[in-house]
């Protein structure tokens, strides 16, 4: 007898946890299967959250849980050039917060929403059929799901087993990252550049251990990194291994950059690192994964609830694939720009000069912060710039008093904001779309674009992106409602 669930998620990293929360908010029966024995993360990975990611958490009313635990930094960086962002967002800062804390807080939220996380179990196989996916587990049991989502990291078993190609660039540089005890304290802390590349030593929070980042001579490796590899790399970079021993974390990362050719194969979907890997420069991995989940969650929920046809899931690939491709491009550029030679230094200085100018710096900050994402929801010169862009978190006056836009999104349901003067009738969609009559007299300012014309109404998807803009008429509103939230009253056969 198979245990059945609407969705099985492989992997309780940031992407899987975010997706589970989104599905649970929509009332979907979802479970996570996680290979690790607990949420504990060995070593440090991502170091923080960027503005758009904090905004999506704010859209669910949980941003404060993260912000209260982290450190706000007012600057951002592109390949060593720092610039201060003055973008129009409530979260105009980088939040320093280590990945283990991010995962702990996300897992707490997912637990409150009642999603079971089965630790210590791996997905070891699956087979797809017309109505679902049979999922084999490492404990010998099987699950049946309508959809299986691989949030199982860069080496994704789900991606490989689904036969989804992962084209891209092989590594050109390799780094070891470790936390170790030393017998000889370094005299030089911080970043060092030499002909090999970039290296760094830092004192860890506990005061006893040292954080090491060191570029290796050899780029291609077939085995997992060892303490001996670390010692050799330290000697090559610093002339000593500092007596490094007893590593509590030792890992290798490269600038390998690859992206899944398809984010979907019928009833199997990929999100996060399983769909895209790129260098950590710019700290964009965790952000892209959590935002993949924000894009996928409500769509998958609507398909499972038979409000929208299965084809809605194709928009997940068409919207998110270009976003990750852009992240890959800018992180490759940053790796190139951190090369230690004099010619690259000239290029770095030139880029720094460009980024010192207000307009390029604003555009790059918007890109690095994920605030300039633009989904192609229809072309044409007359399209309002809000279409396909993130809805700003405006302070509105609604019938019940003042309310922020993001608060209206807490339940992960779509919102139609009507600023008038006339009424809008969406009775056929009343069971799925909230209609809010609101007043707003302030500017409509978008990151990187500046002030845009005030619309008379906006239809906001649960992920906070604008699906339709009213400019005095209701032209195309019904089409947009059907496209994104299904035909009124109908349930679809998937
Ligand atoms: C050294 C380093 C530094 C980084 N720095 C940053 C940074 O500063 N900022 C940033 O945004 N990103 C950073 N990243 C990237 C970031 O850590 C990843 O992008 C992020 O963890 C991706 O989340 P994920 O949930 O998609 O995948 P993962 O975090 O890899 O989670 C995948 C999960 O799936 C589980 N799993 C794997 N296979 C199976 C299976 N078959 N069955 C069940 N479970 C399975 C794994 O145990 C794991 O828990 C860094 C990464 C590294 C390595």
Q: Range with the lowest mean pLDDT among 59-68, 202-211, 235-244, 313-322?
A: 202-211
Q: Range with the lowest mean pLDDT among 5-14, 18-27, 45-54, 485-494?
A: 485-494
Q: What is the pLDDT of residue 229?
A: 94
Q: What is the pLDDT of residue 380?
A: 63
Measured CA to CA, the distance from residue 22 to residue 316 in angstroms comes to 15
Give the residue from 242, 34, 28 showing the smallest Cα distance to 118. Answer: 34
Q: Range with the lowest mean pLDDT among 146-155, 160-169, 470-479?
A: 470-479
Which numbered atom of ligand 1 lies nearest the CA of 33?
43
**Pocket test residue of 33, 116, 152 for ligand 1, highest count of atoms within 8 A of CB:** 152
Measured CA to CA, the distance from residue 370 to residue 159 in angstroms comes to 25
Q: Is residue 281 within 6 Å of ligand 1 at its C-beta?
A: no
Q: Which of 285-289, 308-312, 422-426 has the highest mean pLDDT?
A: 285-289
Atom 29 of ligand 1, nearest CA residue: 13
Q: Is residue 46 within 6 Å of ligand 1 at its C-beta?
A: yes
Does 207 score more than 80 pLDDT?
A: no
SS3 118: strand
- Ligand 1 centroid from CA 273, angstroms: 6
Atom 42 of ligand 1, nearest CA residue: 122
Measured CA to CA, the distance from residue 182 to residue 299 in angstroms comes to 50
Q: How confident is the model at residue 148 (pLDDT cuts 50, 70, 90)?
A: very high
> DSSP string of 423-480?
----GGGTTT-EEEEEE--S-EEETTTEEEPPPSEEEE-TTSBEEEEESSS-TTHHHH
Q: What is the pLDDT of residue 221?
A: 82
Q: How confident is the model at residue 381 (pLDDT cuts 50, 70, 90)?
A: low
**For the chain, percent of residues with pLDDT exceeding 70:** 96
Mean pLDDT of 121-139: 96
Atom 25 of ligand 1, nearest CA residue: 13
Q: Is residue 279 within 6 Å of ligand 1 at its C-beta?
A: no
- Ligand 1 centroid from CA 235, angstroms: 29
Q: What is the pLDDT of residue 338?
A: 82
Q: Is residue 272 within 6 Å of ligand 1 at its C-beta?
A: yes
Mean pLDDT of 70-99: 84
Atom 1 of ligand 1, nearest CA residue: 45
Which numbered atom of ligand 1 lies nearest the CA of 122?
42
Q: Range with the lowest mean pLDDT among 124-128, 355-359, 366-370, 372-376?
A: 355-359
Provide the total of helices (H) and of strands (E) in the chain, helices listed first: 12, 29
Q: What is the pLDDT of residues 423-438, one digit of tens each?
A: 999 999 999 999 999 9
Does 262 score more than 90 pLDDT?
A: yes
- Ligand 1 centroid from CA 107, angstroms: 14
Task: Share the mean pLDDT of the chain.
Answer: 93
- Ligand 1 centroid from CA 462, angstroms: 25
- Ligand 1 centroid from CA 281, angstroms: 15
Largest CA distance in the chain: 75
Which numbered atom of ligand 1 lies nearest the CA of 287?
11
Q: Classify each residue of 339-377 as buried b or exposed e, where b means 16 or more C-beta atoms within 10 Å of its C-beta.
A: beeeeeeeebeebbeebeeeeebbbbbbbbbbbbbbbeb
Q: Is residue 330 within 6 Å of ligand 1 at its C-beta?
A: no
Residue owning tokens 């192609």: 376
Q: What is the pLDDT of residue 340?
A: 80
Q: What is the pLDDT of residues 177-198, one digit of tens each?
A: 999 999 999 988 998 888 888 8
Q: Give me 294's structure tokens.
A: 């924000």
- Ligand 1 centroid from CA 153, angstroms: 5
Peptide bond into 421 cis (omega under 30): yes
Q: How confident is the model at residue 143 (pLDDT cuts 50, 70, 90)?
A: very high
Q: What is the pLDDT of residue 159?
A: 98
- Ligand 1 centroid from CA 279, angstroms: 13
Q: What is the pLDDT of residue 2?
A: 63
Instruction: Characterise 392 by phi-psi region: left (phi > 0), alpha (psi -120 to 50), beta (else).
Output: beta
Q: What is the pLDDT of residue 193?
A: 84
Q: Is residue 282 within 6 Å of ligand 1 at its C-beta?
A: no
Q: How confident is the model at residue 15 (pLDDT cuts 50, 70, 90)?
A: very high
- Ligand 1 centroid from CA 256, angstroms: 15
- Entry field: residues in the chain: 494
Give the residue from 193, 345, 334, 198 showing the smallest Cα distance to 257. Answer: 334
Q: What is the pLDDT of residue 300?
A: 98
Mean pLDDT of 117-143: 96
Mean pLDDT of 367-383: 85
Mean pLDDT of 28-47: 90
Is the Cβ–Cβ distance between 466 and 458 less than 8 Å? yes
Q: Is residue 152 within 6 Å of ligand 1 at its C-beta?
A: yes
Measured CA to CA, the distance from residue 93 to residue 49 in angstroms comes to 9
Q: What is the pLDDT of residue 74?
A: 75
Q: Give me 74's structure tokens.
A: 């007012």
Q: Is residue 13 within 6 Å of ligand 1 at its C-beta?
A: yes
């Amino acid at each position: 007898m198979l245990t059945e669930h609407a969705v099985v998620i492989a992997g309780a990293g940031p992407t899987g946890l975010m997706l589970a929360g989104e599905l649970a908010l929509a009332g979907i029966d979802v479970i996570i299967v996680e290979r690790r024995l607990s949420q504990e993360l060995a070593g440090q990975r991502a170091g923080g959250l960027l503005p758009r990611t904090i905004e999506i958490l704010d859209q669910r009313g949980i941003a404060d849980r993260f912000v209260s635990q982290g450190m706000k930094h007012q600057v951002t960086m592109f390949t060593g050039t720092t610039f201060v962002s003055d973008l129009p967002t409530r979260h105009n800062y980088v939040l320093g917060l280590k990945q283990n804390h991010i995962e702990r807080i996300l897992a707490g939220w997912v637990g409150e929403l009642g999603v079971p996380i089965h630790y210590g179990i791996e997905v070891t196989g699956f087979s797809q059929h017309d109505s679902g996916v049979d999922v084999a587990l490492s404990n010998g049991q099987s699950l049946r799901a309508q959809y299986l989502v691989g949030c199982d990291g860069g080496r994704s078993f789900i991606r490989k087993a689904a036969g989804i190609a992962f084209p891209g660039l092989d590594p050109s540089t390799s780094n070891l990252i470790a936390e170790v005890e030393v017998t000889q304290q370094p005299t030089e802390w911080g970043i060092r550049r030499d002909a090999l590349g970039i290296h760094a030593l830092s004192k860890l929070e506990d005061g006893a251990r040292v954080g090491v980042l060191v570029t290796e001579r050899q780029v291609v490796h077939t085995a997992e990194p060892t303490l001996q590899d670390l010692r050799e790399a330290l000697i090559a970079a610093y002339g000593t291994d500092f007596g490094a021993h007893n590593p509590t974390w030792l890992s290798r990362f490269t600038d390998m950059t690859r992206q899944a050719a398809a984010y979907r194969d019928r009833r199997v979907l990929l999100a996060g690192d399983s769909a895209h890997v790129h260098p950590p420069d710019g700290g964009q991995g965790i952000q892209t994964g959590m935002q993949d989940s924000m894009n996928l969650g409500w769509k998958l929920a609507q398909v499972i609830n038979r409000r929208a046809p299965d084809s809605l899931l194709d928009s997940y690939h068409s919207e998110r694939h270009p976003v990750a491709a852009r992240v890959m491009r800018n992180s490759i550029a940053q790796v190139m720009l951190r090369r230690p030679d004099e010619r690259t230094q000239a290029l770095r200085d030139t880029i720094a000069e460009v980024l010192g100018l207000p307009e390029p710096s604003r555009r790059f900050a918007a890109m690095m912060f994920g605030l300039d994402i633009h989904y192609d929801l229809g072309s044409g010169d007359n399209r309002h710039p809000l279409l396909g862009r993130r809805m700003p978190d405006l302070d509105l006056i609604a019938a019940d008093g003042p309310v922020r836009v993001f608060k209206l999104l807490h339940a992960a349901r779509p919102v139609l904001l009507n600023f008038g003067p006339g009424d809008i009738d969406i009775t056929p969609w009343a069971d799925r779309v909230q209609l809010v009559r609101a007043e707003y007299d302030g500017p409509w300012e978008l990151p990187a674009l500046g002030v845009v014309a005030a619309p008379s109404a906006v239809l906001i998807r649960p992920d906070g992106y604008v699906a339709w803009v009213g400019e005095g008429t209701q032209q195309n509103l019904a089409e947009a409602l059907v496209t994104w939230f299904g035909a009124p009253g109908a349930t679809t056969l998937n």
